[in-house]
Structure 1
Amino acid sequence: MLRLRKVLTACLLVTLLLLSACATQAPSRFERVQQESTQRGAKAIVQESLSGSSFNKFFPAGTDGYDRVYTQEKTGFAEAKLKKDGKDVAVMAISDTLNNPGAVEKFQQSTEKIGGYPAVKQGNNATAVLVNNRFQVKVLSRDASFTESDRRAWLEKFDLDGLAKISSQPTATAK
């Protein structure tokens, strides 16, 4: 009887191990997001995107007590902080919408223009323009003292027309 109990226990353990090893697990939340983005056909970076450093010349220089500090460059994107008295008051960015075609959609119904380009307010802290249906130029407030009118004024300081010229040139493959 004891020997039968041991054999039965061993058989049950083996069966349990086989069943648990063969069972499919639900994907983790990270795997699920990866699957969803892959199914939508999202690409991290398209080859035609420009290098982030190529955008730097279009950012406005720091003036009137503001300092511009570049903080990030990657293919299709560049970012700079705007500081006043050593405090971050805004973030300025240029992004190539080839990497995020959905970003263009929010400008389709825009009736506002800044520097001749369609503009949108995004929430309470961001204002953006779309240059030649390709480049999104955005200013985000990081301090309550930096208002919507400040964001609009800084967007006008960008060399938007210069940026428009590079969007009409053939694109080089990013490396």
Structure 2
Amino acid sequence: MIFPRGRRVLAAVLLSVVLLTTACTAQAPSRFDQVQQESSKQKSGQAVAKKATQGSEFNKFFPAEAAGYQRVFTQEKKGFAEAKLKKDGKDLAMLSISDTTSTPGAAAKFSNSSKEIGGYPSVLVGNTQTAVLVGKYQVKVLSRSPSFTASDRADWVEKFNLDGLAKLK
């Protein structure tokens, strides 16, 4: 009877040694870990420029709630603010203001614009977005419902305080 008991003890000791040696060995970093370390060290090319306007500064330029419409702010960060436009509890559109300092290419699409809304260059982006450039700020209305047309988007862009936004520095 001593022999089977010795086997159990030996098996337990061997299992402990195997677990201890495998748990203590260092693992080589994966390719994802290396990319994460490299991107964390980058100082240039950050997503938001240091000179970008705080998102909270944009809130006062958004359209006020109108009869039957509700404006719900959903995101506010440096260089960007966004709100949902709702009617009867349904999302109709997304309203946003962004500082193009962080994305210089965003302003370039307005250079060939032949349309204006509220006196500012306007572009249609695909079938669902209408945008205007106000100084260094892009004001955008994005349809979230098929019933919210390009004409509706243009009307809501005009409801922003575009002239007030133009004075923001």
Structure 1 segment 1-175 matched on structure 2, within 5 A: 31=35, 42-132=45-135, 134-167=136-169
RMSD: 2.4
Structure 1 position 46, deviation (Å): 1.2
Aligned positions, number? 140
TM-score, normalised by the number of residues in structure 1: 0.73
CA distance in 2, matches of 1:42, 1:143: 35
Unaligned 5+ runs, structure 2 = 1-27
- The sequence identity of aligned pairs, in percent, is 58
Structure 1 position 94, deviation (Å): 0.2
After superposition, give the CA deviation of every residue in 1:41-97 in whole Å (9 maximum; x if it has no partner): 632111111111110000001113110001100001000000000001100000000
Q: Which amino acid aligns with 2:98?
A: S
TM-score, normalised by the number of residues in structure 2: 0.75
CA distance in 1, matches of 2:91, 2:80: 20
Q: Which runs of structure 1 show a deviation greater than 2 angstroms over 4 or more consecutive aligned residues? A: none
Structure 1 position 31, deviation (Å): 4.0
Q: Larger C-alpha radius of gyration, 1 or 2? A: 2
Unaligned 5+ runs, structure 1 = 1-20, 168-175
Structure 1 position 103, deviation (Å): 0.3
After superposition, give the CA deviation of every residue in 1:106-152 in whole Å (9 maximum; x if it has no partner): 111100000000000000000000001x0000000000011100000
